[in-house]
C-alpha cells in the first residue's frame, strides 16, 4: 500500500509543480505552455501560488505534503485513515475553489469571495489540475483499501472510486445544473415559482379536447403510448414468425427488422416526406388516379407516429425474440397433454409467460418515443413535443435557459418515471421457466388464426419498410424530388467529391469534414464505452460492496435521461469553469461514452454471469491479484461481449443527434448535425445521400466485427477438466 500511495503522490506532485494548472486556448498538446513556463495562467499551481498570489490553490499542495509525511507513520491502519482524510480534504478544497472562484458563469457563494485576486476569477481546470485530482482520488481509494474496506483490494476499491467519480462528474453534475437553473426567474432565484411553472398549462394543457391544441407534455405522452403499443405489437408478430413458423424468407425479414437500428433517426422522416409529402410519390399517384387533394397530412402527429414506429419496432423485436424463445416447451406440451388446443395454449400459457418481455418492450418504446428528437424535428409541424420544444427554446431568437431547464425536467420526469416503473414492475414478478435441467420439448405451433394474424400484421409492415428504404436510395439519385426526377450523381459528388490536382488528392465534398470527424469521435468513444461498461459489469458481478444496488442504478441512469436533456445539461455544466469543454472534441467523446455505457454494462453482466467464479478463485490462489485476474483470465473470455459493446457504441455515436445537436462546433461538426442543417435548408438530396453513405459505413463495420466474433473459439487447451 505504501508503494502504491507513493507512486500516486509522485504523479500528483508532477501535476502540481510541472503541468499547467489552467486550460490553455491552443490546447495542452500544442506545448505552448513549455515556452511560457512560469507565466501567469500557463504556470503550474505551485508557481501560481508563489508568484501570482493564487493562495486558494495551496490546499491541494498541502494535501500532497501531508499524505507524503504520513508515509513515515508505522501504524498501517492509522496511516491509512489519516491519508484518506488528507486526500479527501485535498479533493474537496480543489473542487470547491474551482466552483467558487470563476472568471465567467455562475459563482457559488460569489458575494463571499469577491475580493483581491479572487474577484477577477480564474480559468477552468487544465492538465495539471486533472492529474492532481486523479492522483488524490487514487490516494484516497488506496487508503480506504488499506483500512480493510473492499477486502483490502486496492484495484477493486480504486475501480469503484473511479467509476463513481466519473458518473458523478459527467452524469449527476450536469443534471444538477438543470435542476438548479429551473429555479431561476426574471426576479431572481425562486423556490415557490418552480412547481407552477413545471405543471403549467403551457406544458400540460388539454386544449385539444375542446378543439384547440394540447401542451407538448400531453402530446409527448400520447405519442409515446401509441408508439410503445404499436411497436410492441409489431415486434411480437415478427418474433412469433421467426420462432414459431416455417416462413421461407426469414433472412430478408430479419434484415428489414434490424436495418432501422443503423439508420440516422431523421432519415426515415425524410423518406416519408418523399412518399407522402405534397410532392411525394404516393401523394402524386393518388392525386392523379383518384383526384385526391394534395395535403400536408404527413406533418404532425400522423407523420411522427409513423416514423417512430418504423424506427423503434426493431428494438421491440430484439427484446421479444429472446422472450418468445425462452418460453419453456415442456409447459406448452403439458398444456396440450391436458387437452388444450393451440389457441388455448398460446393464450393461457405462452402469452402470460411473455408479460415481462411485453412490458419491457412497451416501456422501451415509450421511453424512446419521449426521447426522440430527429423525427419530430423533421415531421412535427404544429404538433409540439418536449424534445423539440427544448431545442427551439435554446436556438430561438431569445435563449431561455430557465424555460429550457423546466422543459428538460418535465421530459426527465416522464422518462425516469417510466424507467423506474419498468424496473419495479418487471423486477417484482417471476416468470422463470428455464432451469439447469435440459428441456428436450418442442415449442407448440401457432394456431392458424394467430399465425395469419402475425402474417397480416408483420408482412405488410415489412413491405412498407422496404419501400421506405427504397425511397432513401432512390431519393439520393434524383436531382430534385417531385420536380426533376432525372437520374444524377450530383448529391454524392457534392457531398463526397474527390478532385485530383497537381498537389495530389483533395477531398472537395462538403461532407468530408463532418464524416471524418464523426468516424474519429466514434472510433475513440466506442472502446472507451466498452471498457468502462465492462469494468462496471465486473464490479457488479464479481465483487460485493456496500451500496451495490445504488451503484448499479446510478450507472444505468444515463440510459433513462433523454439525449436532449443530456445535451442541454452539458452546455449548462461545461460551458464555464471549473470544467470548460464546450466547443472541443473531448465533450463529444464524453457524451457518447456516458450515454451508451449502460449497454456495455448489461452486455458485460450477461457475459460475465456465464463465467464460473472458480476461474477467479484459481487465479488468486496461484498468486495473481484482482487486476491480473481481470486482465489475463476474465477479459480474454469476454470477446463477444466486448465486440458487441463496441458495435453498439460505434453505431450510436454515428446516429445520435439529440445529445450532440447542442455540442457540435464549426471545428468539430458531426454527421447527424450536418444532415439536420441540410434538412433545414431544404437540401434533401444531400441529406439522403449522406445518410445512405452512413448506413453503408455502419453495415460494413458491423459485418467486420461480426466476422471477428464468429472466429472466436476455445482451443482444446482452454478446456477445464471436471
**Are residues 518 and 455 part of one domain?**
no
209 domain residue, yes or no: no
**Interval 396-416: pLDDT, tens:** 656 678 888 899 899 989 988
**Are residues 464 and 325 part of one domain?**
yes
C-alpha grid cell for residue 582? Answer: 464546450
**Are residues 596 and 519 part of one domain?**
yes
**Are residues 468 and 531 part of one domain?**
no
The pairing of strands 498-501 and 504-507 is antiparallel
Alpha-carbon distance of 413 to 421, in angstroms, equals 12
479 alpha-carbon distance from chain centroid: 36
**Are residues 426 and 516 part of one domain?**
no
Q: What local confidence, expressed as pLDDT, does residue 716 receive?
A: 40
530 domain residue, yes or no: yes
**Are residues 318 and 403 part of one domain?**
yes
Domain limit, last residue, from 94, 117, 147? 147
Task: Tell the burial category of 118 from Cβ atoms under 10 Å away from its Cβ (0-12, 13-18, 19+).
Answer: buried
**Are residues 140 and 227 part of one domain?**
no
**Interval 131-151: pLDDT, tens:** 999 999 999 999 999 888 877
Alpha-carbon distance of 560 to 174, in angstroms, equals 15
Say whether pLDDT at 434 is over 80: no
Q: What local confidence, expressed as pLDDT, does residue 563 receive?
A: 83
Alpha-carbon distance of 266 to 673, in angstroms, equals 11
Mean pLDDT lowest among 146-150, 210-214, 629-633, 707-711: 707-711
198 domain residue, yes or no: no
381: alpha, beta or left, given left = phi > 0 and alpha = psi -120 to 50?
A: left
**Are residues 422 and 309 part of one domain?**
yes
Number of domains the chain contains: 3
551 domain residue, yes or no: yes
Alpha-carbon distance of 661 to 680, in angstroms, equals 13
Rg of the chain on CA atoms, in Å: 28
Domain limit, last residue, from 129, 147, 165? 147
**Interval 580-621: pLDDT, tens:** 888 888 999 999 999 888 877 876 776 676 677 787 778 888
Contact indicator for 649, 577 with CB cutoff of 8 Å: no
Contact indicator for 394, 662 with CB cutoff of 8 Å: yes
**Are residues 221 and 315 part of one domain?**
yes
Helices 684-710 + 512-542 axis angle, to 10: 40
Mean pLDDT of the chain: 83
Domain span at 48: 2-147
**Are residues 589 and 664 part of one domain?**
yes
Alpha-carbon distance of 203 to 385, in angstroms, equals 9
Q: What local confidence, expressed as pLDDT, does residue 360 receive?
A: 78
**Are residues 399 and 307 part of one domain?**
yes
197 domain residue, yes or no: no
402 domain residue, yes or no: yes
On the question of a cis peptide bond just before residue 239, with omega within 30 degrees of 0, the verdict is no
482 domain residue, yes or no: no
Alpha-carbon distance of 442 to 458, in angstroms, equals 24
* Confidence category of residue 41, pLDDT binned at 50, 70, 90: confident
Average pLDDT over every residue of 365-385? 89
Q: What local confidence, expressed as pLDDT, does residue 430 receive?
A: 44
**Are residues 354 and 419 part of one domain?**
yes
Domain limit, last residue, from 147, 176, 206? 147
CA dist 192 → 186, 217, 404, 538, 563 (Å): 13, 21, 18, 44, 28
pTM, entire model = 0.83
The pairing of strands 188-189 and 484-487 is unpaired
Q: What local confidence, expressed as pLDDT, does residue 232 receive?
A: 93
**Interval 487-508: pLDDT, tens:** 899 999 999 998 887 777 888 8
162 domain residue, yes or no: no
User: Following DSSP, what letter does each residue of 448-496 receive, concatenated?
Assistant: HHHHHHHHHHHHHHHHHHHHHHHHHHHHTTEEETTTEEEE--HHHHHHH
C-alpha grid cell for residue 137? Answer: 482520488
CATH, residue 583 = 1.10.3720.10
Q: What local confidence, expressed as pLDDT, does residue 718 receive?
A: 42
Q: What is the phi/psi pair of residue 552, to 5°?
A: -65, -45
Nearest to 274 by CA among 550, 483, 16, 18: 483
3-class secondary-structure state, position 340: coil
Say whether pLDDT at 436 is over 60: no
Amino acid at each position: 500500500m505504501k508503494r502504491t500511495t507513493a507512486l500516486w503522490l509522485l504523479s500528483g506532485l508532477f501535476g502540481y509543480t510541472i503541468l499547467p494548472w489552467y486550460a490553455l486556448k491552443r490546447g495542452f498538446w500544442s506545448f505552448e505552455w513549455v515556452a511560457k513556463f512560469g507565466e501567469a495562467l500557463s504556470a503550474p499551481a505551485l508557481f501560481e501560488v508563489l508568484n501570482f498570489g493564487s493562495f486558494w490553490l495551496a490546499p491541494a499542495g498541502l494535501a500532497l505534503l501531508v499524505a507524503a509525511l504520513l508515509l513515515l507513520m508505522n501504524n498501517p491502519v492509522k496511516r491509512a485513515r489519516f491519508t484518506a482524510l488528507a486526500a479527501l480534504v485535498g479533493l474537496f478544497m480543489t473542487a470547491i475553489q474551482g466552483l467558487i472562484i470563476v472568471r465567467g458563469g455562475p459563482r457559488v457563494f460569489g458575494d463571499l469571495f469577491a475580493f483581491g485576486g479572487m474577484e477577477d476569477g480564474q480559468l477552468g481546470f487544465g492538465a495539471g489540475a486533472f492529474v492532481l485530482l486523479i492522483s488524490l482520488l487514487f490516494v484516497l481509494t488506496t487508503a480506504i483499501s488499506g483500512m480493510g474496506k473492499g477486502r483490502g483490494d486496492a484495484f477493486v476499491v480504486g475501480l469503484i472510486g473511479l467509476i463513481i467519480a466519473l458518473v458523478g462528474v459527467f452524469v449527476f453534475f450536469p443534471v444538477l445544473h438543470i435542476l438548479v437553473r429551473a429555479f431561476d426567474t426574471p426576479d431572481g432565484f425562486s423556490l415557490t415559482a418552480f412547481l407552477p411553472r413545471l405543471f403549467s398549462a403551457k406544458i400540460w394543457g388539454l386544449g385539444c379536447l375542446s378543439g384547440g391544441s394540447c401542451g407538448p407534455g400531453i402530446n409527448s405522452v400520447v405519442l409515446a403510448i401509441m408508439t410503445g403499443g404499436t411497436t410492441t405489437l409489431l415486434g411480437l408478430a415478427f418474433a412469433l414468425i421467426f420462432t414459431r413458423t416455417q416462413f421461407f424468407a426469414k433472412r430478408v425479414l430479419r434484415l428489414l427488422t434490424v436495418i432501422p437500428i443503423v439508420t440516422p433517426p431523421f432519415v426515415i422522416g425524410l423518406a416519408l416526406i418523399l412518399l407522402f409529402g405534397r410532392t411525394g410519390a404516393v401523394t402524386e399517384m393518388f392525386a392523379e388516379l383518384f383526384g385526391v387533394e394534395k395535403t400536408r397530412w404527413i406533418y404532425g402527429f400522423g407523420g411522427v407516429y409513423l416514423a417512430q414506429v418504423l424506427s423503434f419496432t426493431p428494438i421491440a423485436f430484439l427484446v421479444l425474440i429472446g422472450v418468445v424463445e425462452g418460453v419453456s416447451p415442456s409447459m406448452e406440451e403439458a398444456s396440450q397433454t391436458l387437452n388444450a388446443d393451440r389457441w388455448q395454449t398460446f393464450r393461457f400459457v405462452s402469452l402470460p409467460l411473455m408479460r415481462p418481455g411485453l412490458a419491457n418492450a412497451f416501456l422501451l418504446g415509450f421511453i424512446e418515443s419521449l426521447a426522440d428528437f430527429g423525427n419530430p424535428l423533421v415531421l412535427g409541424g404544429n404538433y409540439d413535443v418536449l424534445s423539440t420544444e427544448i431545442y427551439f427554446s435554446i436556438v430561438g431568437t431569445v435563449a431561455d435557459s430557465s424555460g429550457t431547464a423546466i422543459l428538460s425536467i418535465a421530459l426527465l420526469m416522464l422518462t425516469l418515471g417510466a424507467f423506474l416503473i419498468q424496473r419495479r414492475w418487471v423486477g417484482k414478478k417471476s416468470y422463470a421457466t428455464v432451469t439447469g435441467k435440459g428441456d428436450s420439448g418442442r415449442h407448440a405451433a401457432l394456431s392458424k388464426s394467430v399465425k395469419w394474424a402475425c402474417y397480416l400484421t408483420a408482412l405488410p409492415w415489412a413491405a412498407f419498410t422496404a419501400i421506405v428504404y427504397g425511397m432513401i436510395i432512390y431519393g439520393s439519385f434524383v436531382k430534385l424530388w417531385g420536380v426533376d426526377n432525372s437520374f444524377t450523381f450530383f448529391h454524392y459528388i457534392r457531398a463526397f467529391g474527390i478532385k485530383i490536382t497537381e498537389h495530389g488528392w483533395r477531398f472537395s465534398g462538403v461532407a468530408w469534414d463532418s464524416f471524418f470527424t464523426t468516424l474519429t469521435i466514434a472510433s475513440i468513444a466506442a472502446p472507451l464505452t466498452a471498457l468502462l461498461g465492462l469494468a462496471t459489469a465486473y464490479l457488479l458481478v464479481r465483487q460485493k460492496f456496500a451500496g451495490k444496488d445504488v451503484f448499479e442504478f446510478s450507472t444505468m441512469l444515463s440510459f433513462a435521461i433523454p439525449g436532449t436533456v443530456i445535451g442541454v445539461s452539458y452546455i449548462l455544466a461545461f460551458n464555464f469553469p471549473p470544467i470548460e469543454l464546450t466547443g472541443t472534441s473531448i465533450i463529444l467523446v464524453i457524451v457518447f461514452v456516458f450515454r451508451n455505457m449502460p449497454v456495455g454494462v448489461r452486455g458485460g453482466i450477461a457475459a460475465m454471469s456465464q463465467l464460473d467464479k472458480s476461474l477467479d478463485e484459481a487465479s488468486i490462489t496461484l498468486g495473481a491479484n484482482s487486476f491480473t485476474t481481470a486482465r489475463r483470465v476474465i477479459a480474454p473470455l469476454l470477446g463477444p461481449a466486448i465486440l458487441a459493446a463496441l458495435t453498439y457504441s460505434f453505431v450510436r455515436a454515428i446516429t445520435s443527434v439529440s445529445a450532440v445537436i447542442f455540442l457540435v462546433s464549426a471545428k468539430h461538426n458531426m454527421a447527424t448535425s450536418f444532415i439536420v442543417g441540410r434538412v433545414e435548408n431544404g437540401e434533401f438530396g444531400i441529406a439522403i445521400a449522406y445518410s445512405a453513405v452512413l448506413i453503408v459505413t455502419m453495415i460494413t463495420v458491423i459485418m467486420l466485427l461480426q466476422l471477428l466474433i464468429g472466429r472466436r473459439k476455445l482451443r482444446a487447451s482452454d478446456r477445464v477438466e471436471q
